[in-house]
């Protein structure tokens, strides 16, 4: 989009204006999703991805926003760019993580970086081994709705305890999830798989830690006693 706009600098300034407007309205909390994806080079060549990924750190630096990041099959270049810009953003998460433990450790070497886990992160036994090695203090969970659901073929499915009735979208029922659509409530399943593969029995405390991680980076105004009280109320009910 930077290149296709015909004027990359104007495109950047438009993004900056949009971000500033969104911050004032309380609607924009991060720069992203941005990063590198070498599995999808048919959408954008690697050199263009790298050039403008680095440019997007300028948005984070000017706006003082954290970053919501994407890394797929591009760990070396991704980490090199983050290393060069690690003082230009306040924090961030590399979401939908599916890479190796070595790549995970590279990300964790950046003290402001968290690892985001969803259904795509829980497909194989190797994925689960990586999740086991991520400190909960450096983890976030997500659905990536409407994609990345935990399927029956995934290695993590054995840890899933909560399921909902489903119907096809043509027969929509507000008491059911839509068949084939990963809905926000499914974040509960991600929590259960993370707890299960890590051998954590106190799922409520795990959820509180993950919630606080998310607030610390993206929603610092929610990181207070009122939020804790709300969580405690949810758990007791």
pLDDT (tens digit, 9 = 90+) per residue, 145-191? 999 999 999 999 999 999 999 999 999 999 999 999 999 999 999 99
* pLDDT for 221: 77
Joined tokens for residue 123: 């497909």
Residue 229: per-residue pLDDT: 66
Give the pair of three-digit tokens for residue 94: 């590399």
Residues in contact with 49: Cβ distance below 8 Å, sequence separation at least 6, in sequence order = 36, 37, 38, 74
33 is in an annotated binding site: yes
Distance between CA 232 and CA 72 in Å, rounded? 37
The tens digit of pLDDT for each residue in 69-118 reads 999 999 999 999 999 999 999 999 999 999 999 999 999 999 999 999 99
> Which pTM value belongs to this model?
0.91
Alpha-carbon span 230 to 222, nearest angstrom: 11
pLDDT value of residue 37: 97
Q: How many angstroms separate the Cα of 24 from the Cα of each of 13, 63, 81, 150? A: 17, 11, 29, 36
Token pair belonging to 136? 């909960």
Give the per-residue SS3 of the chain.
Answer: CCCCCCCHHHHHHHHHHHHHHHHHCCCCCCEEEEEEECCCCCCCCHHHHHHHHHHHHHHHHHHCCCEEEEEECCHHHHHHHHHHCCCCCCCEEEECCCCCHHHHHHHHCCCCEEEEECHHHHCCHHHHHHHHCCCHHHEEECCCCCCCCCCCCCHHHHHCCCCCCEECHHHCCCCCEECCCCCHHHHHHHHHHHHHHHCCCCHHHHHHHHHHHHHHHHCHHHCCHHHHHHHHHHHHC
Residues 29-218, CATH architecture: Alpha-Beta Barrel (3.20)
Closest CA to 33 of 3, 47, 53, 61: 53
Does the annotation list 11 as a binding residue? no
pLDDT tens digit sequence for 139-151: 999 999 999 999 9
CA–CA distance, 186 with 201 (Å, rounded to integer): 19
């Amino acid at each position: 989009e930077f290149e296709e706009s015909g004027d990359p600098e104007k495109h950047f300034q438009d993004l900056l204006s949009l971000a500033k407007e969104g911050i004032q309205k309380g609607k924009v909390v991060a720069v992203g999703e941005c990063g590198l994806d070498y599995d999808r080079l048919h959408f954008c060549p690697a050199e263009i991805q790298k050039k403008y990924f680095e440019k997007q750190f300028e948005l984070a630096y000017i706006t003082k926003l954290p970053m919501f990041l994407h890394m797929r099959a591009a760990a070396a270049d991704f980490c090199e760019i983050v290393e060069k810009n690690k003082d230009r953003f306040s924090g961030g998460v590399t979401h939908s993580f599916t890479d190796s433990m070595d790549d995970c450790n590279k990300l964790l070497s950046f003290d402001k970086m968290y690892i985001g886990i969803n259904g795509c992160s829980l497909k194989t036994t190797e994925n689960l081994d990586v999740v086991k090695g991520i400190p909960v203090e450096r983890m976030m969970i997500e659905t990536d709705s409407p994609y990345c659901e935990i399927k029956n073929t995934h290695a993590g499915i054995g840890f899933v305890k909560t399921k909902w009735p489903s119907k096809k979208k043509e027969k929509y029922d507000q008491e059911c999830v839509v068949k084939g659509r990963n809905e926000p409530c499914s974040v509960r399943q991600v929590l259960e798989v993370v707890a299960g593969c890590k051998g954590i029995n106190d799922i409520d405390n795990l959820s509180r830690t993950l919630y606080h991680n998310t607030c610390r980076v993206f929603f610092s105004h929610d990181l207070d006693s009122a939020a804790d009280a709300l969580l405690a109320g949810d758990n007791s009910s």
